[in-house]
Each structure stands twice: as structure tokens, then as C-alpha cells.
Chain A
Amino acid sequence: MLIKSETPEPEKILEVKDLKKFFDIKQGFVGLGHQTVRAVDDVSFFVNKGETLGIVGESGCGKSTMGRSILQLQKPTDGSVLFEGIELTKLKNGQIRKLRKDIQMVFQDPFGSLNPRITIGTMLREIVNTHHVVNKTESKSYVEELLEQVGLKKSYYDRYAHEFSGGQRQRISIARALAVRPKLIVCDEAVSALDVSVQAQILNLLQKLKKDYELTYLFISHDLSVIKHVSDRVAVMYLGQIVELASKEEIFEHPLHPYLRALLSAIPLVNQPKRERIILSGEVPSPINIPEGCRFHTRCPFAKDLCKQKVPAFEQKKDGHWAACHFA
């Protein structure tokens, strides 16, 4: 047996390397005009077992596409996704299907992600039976137990999705992800569609389940406060790339990239001296025409000539703090 050192190196459960996902758009007569949307453009990161990695970025920056590419719901254009050392991008459909027992997803839209025509009990039971989580005879009581674990009543077993509120539906989505006893759950904007008070309930539920089942989360959101609440480490995405990645404390206390600094300076403070705001001008460029050089230079208040010419490397600036900026 291997002798473990005093502070064991955290085990990587998921490792994403150079992940790319491009979409082709055909335009004009018989599709002669041809453009490419670079939704996820060369993203690399890893998730340690038992932690929550928050991915934050504004709408359209490729967060959700990245989540779907990791789960192989959309085939990535290039790059590799290693889950516990298994390369997911090269697996055949049947093999991926079996691996889905370990990686689950909670979807954004609590109204669209549940089938309107079947009862939630039937839906959950089908998943449990497909993956042989428990004996077929026990699956009903297992599903009822599952409903109670996510804060719903056993009696909801025979109800249809439209009979629930948004928060309850998201609990059902969580139950669905949890049903197969996964190791990793990708939460794609899992609370964005909910009221703030309901958001808090769902976030607390997720935290509780994480403890109870030793889960690992990849938590995708556009909401900095939500990310700050749930994450151990945080990655900031801008236009299909990760521009900064560090532990939560580090990244919120000492942001390096001008993008994150600008975002954080926009949060209003109560009972504290006013701080200097960094105002971003302009709009996010289209992922069809990504700017040359640093992709943030068109909006960066500190941009120099170098930024227009050279792409900054995503490198370790401090211990465990990565950023893609020439001047950080």
C-alpha cells in the first residue's frame, strides 16, 4: 500500500484541457457565407474531489456550453475532458451513458427541464431502474426517500411537473441528479431562475447534500454573490475563456484581472467609504469576431499597445492564482 503524506495532494476528479466548442453558422444562399462562433475557446482547469468550483461570467460567455461539453451533451470540437482519469471525449455513446451515473447535471430552467407528460415519481424511478441503483422492488420507496431528502413530500410522487412552483421544480431537478448517487454534479445556473429567498433555500439544500453525500460541484452562475456563497475556488470566464482562477478568498480580496476588478468595484457598499469604480465601456464583442490580442482589450481601461497585439498567457501569477493579463 502507498504511504500517504501528512497533507495529501487533493485528488483531481475532473480535469479539462484545452476544451474548445465551436458552432458553424451558415449564412446566405446555400450556406456560402460561413462563420464560426467560438463559444468555448481553449479552456483548461481541474476540479478537486469534494470541492465546489464556481464558474462565473456574463450571459453568452460560454459557461453553459462548457458545462454541456463536459457532460458530452454536446460533442466538444477539440480538447480533452478527464473524469477520474477516463477520457470522456473518446468514449462511445453506450460507455458515456454508463458514466452518467457518476456525473450529473442540474439544469437552469426549472420549467423546461421537466417532462410535462409524466409524473415525477415515474421519471425518477425510470432513472433509478436504468442505472440499477437499487432493486426494482425497492425503487419506489427509494424515490420517496429521495423526495424527502430534497425537502419535498412523499405524496408528491404522483404529481406532474406543472403542479409545482419554480423552487419545488428545482428541488425535483436536484433529486433527479441525486438519484443515481453521482460523484460530480454540474449545476448550470441552478438558482438563476428563482427568487432570492428561494435561491437561498436551494443553495442551502445543495450545501447540505454536498456534506451528506460527499459531492463535488461545478457551479456555473452569472451571479457573483451566489458564487461567493457556494464556491471553494472560482474561475472567471470572459468570451469563451477563463481569465482568472483562484481560491474564493484570494480572488475576491485580491483580484488581478481588470475584468474581475471592474465587476467587483461595481458591487455597492453599505456603510463604507466609497471606493473607486472601474467603469467598463462598450459591449462584449461577438464570439464570431473575437478581438486580436487580449480579448478584453476593447473594454479594458488599462489596455496598452501590447494588449492589442499579443494574446496574454493564462499563467500562475501567485501560488494558486492564475490570470490571463500582461500587466497583472
Chain B
Amino acid sequence: MGEPQLQSETVNRVQINPLRKKRNKSYSKLMKNKLAVCGGIFVVLLVVLAVFAPLLAPFDPTKQNYGQILKPPSATHWFGTDTLGRDLLSRIIFGAQVSLKAGLISVGIALTIGIPLGMISGYFRGFWDEFIIMRVTDAMLAFPSLVLALTLAAVLGPSLNHAMIAIGLVFTPYFIRLARGEVLAQREREYVSAARASGLRNFSIMMRHVFPNILGPLIVQATLNVASAIIAEASLSYLGLGTQPPTPSWGAMLAEGQGYISQAPWISIFPGLFIFLAVISINVFGDGIHDWLDPKLK
């Protein structure tokens, strides 16, 4: 009698499982889309904050008010005030300008140098790949990234623009490596051979056939690096090589609050929260773009 029961059980399982699986899949896809949309909305919000900062900020972000030092969040100062009595909400709104600029431009620099170099390196191989580009990236990766960024920023001189260039250069080898590795994997695929056999030019094979297929990992890496760049800018600012006071930047604000963490935790909490939210939403948004670009998931 055991066997028929078993059979009916397997039959049931076979019938139920595909349904459940399908529902789970579409649900998780929906959730993922929702997250990506939320991430996108927050990114747009940050951009709006940055662009319209002078209109949105309730106070002058650099104006010191010694009567309002270290005030906790209240109706007038939503996020409280810092050691010099400056309104934290206004500073965060203006800080979005600096932080977004630092994150996007430095990663932009890394992308524009890194992807072409990495792709050429991986596609053509040979002397330039093996002995020049790869060895230079090895040398750059051998340094701790913050130390390298510090050195570069120190050589260039303290300013936000120089800090962005330094961060961009420090991130470049990661993109070279990643692009090269992905191209190496793709160039062995048969569709690349087929494109070559069709007599297409190397440039168009790289741009139209290989590039779209390596884009996914690059987007993920780029969004992760935007987050790291915001933090790197914060670190450089903390060390005095990035944004110069009194210009507000989230990283610098985070650092300023360090000494008052027990008395006035809001000085650090709010900029930290914004860094965190910006980083997460950029990551989720990037992930969404990645899925959106994949024709198989449409």
C-alpha cells in the first residue's frame, strides 16, 4: 500500500511545484523592480536636492550661530545644529552637491580611462596587455587605495576637484582589470568568432558585440564604486585634502561629529544616514539597470 501513496504524493508535488516556483519568481522579480524604482527615486531626489540646494535649504549652510550650538533636532532645526551652530539639514542639502559630484565624477573618470584600456588590453592581448597595462595596474593595486589617493591628492594640492581626480585614478585599475577579464571571457565565445568570420571590423566587434555583453558587471562595479568614492571623498576631506571648510560635505560632517558622538550624536548620524541611503539606492538602482539591459529578463 505504501507505493501508490508515494506515487500520488509525487504527482501532487509535480503539479504544485511549478506553480509555486513561478509565483515566487515573479514575486521576487517584482520586489526587485520595486527596490530598483525606490533606489532610482532616491537618486533623483538627491540630484534635485543638489541642484536646487539654494532654494530648498532653510538656512545658510555656512552661517554660524553661537546661540544655537549643539542643539538637538527640533521644529526649526530638523536635524539639529553642529558645534558652530550651523543648521545640519541645510548643510546636508548642500553637501549632496559635493558628495554626488565626488561620487559620479570620480567614477566617471575611472570608467572613461579604465574601460577602453581594459577592453583593448583583453581583446588584442600581446605586449601592451601583458607587459605595460597589466603591470601598471598591478603596481597601482599594490598600494592601499586610500594611501595612493592621499599621495595623489597631496601632489595635486588640496581641493575638491583634485580629490576627485585622485579618487578616479585610484579606481581606474579596478575597471581595467574587470573590463579586461570580462573581454577575455567573451572573446572565446563563439559569437565573437562568428563576428570575426563575418568579416566585421575589430572596432565594431568590440563596441557592438563585446561591450554590451560585459556591461552588466561593469555597471555593478561602477555603482559600488560611486559609494566608495563618496566615502573616499569623505576620508580625504577629513584629512584636509578634499573639500575645504566651510563648504559642507557629508564625509567632512561625519568627521566633525566624531568628537561629540556622545553629547550630540545627530551631527554624525544624519550625514551617515544620507551616505548610507545614497550608497544603497545607487547600488539597487544599478542592479535594476543591469536587469533592464538583459534582454532575457525583459
Contacts and interface: CB of A to CB of B under 8 A. Distances in A.
B10 interface: no
Contact of A118 (B197, B209, B296): B209
A113 interface: yes
Contacts of B15: none
A34 to B, nearest CB: 19
Nearest to B191: A115
A109 B201 CA distance: 23
B193 A160 contact: no
B189 interface: yes
Contact of B199 (A68, A100, A109): A100
Nearest to B212: A117
A118 B194 contact: no
Nearest to A176: B198
A257 B49 CA distance: 81
29 contacts: A68-B193, A73-B193, A73-B197, A97-B199, A97-B200, A104-B197, A104-B198, A107-B193, A107-B194, A108-B190, A109-B190, A112-B191, A113-B190, A113-B193, A115-B191, A115-B195, A115-B213, A116-B295, A117-B209, A118-B208, A118-B209, A126-B200, A126-B208, A130-B204, A131-B199, A160-B295, A162-B295, A179-B198, A180-B198
A162 to B, nearest CB: 5
Interface in A98-115: 98-101, 104-105, 107-109, 112-115
A107 B196 contact: no
Interface residues of B, number: 19
B201 to A, nearest CB: 7
Contacts, number: 71
A71 interface: yes
B8 to A, nearest CB: 33
Interface of A: 68, 71, 73, 97-101, 104-105, 107-109, 112-118, 126-127, 130-131, 160, 162, 173, 176, 179-180
Given A73-B193, A126-B204, A100 B198 contact: yes
Contact of A114 (B191, B196, B204, B208): B191
A131 to B, nearest CB: 6
A112 B190 contact: yes
Contacts of B296: 116, 160, 162
Nearest to B215: A117
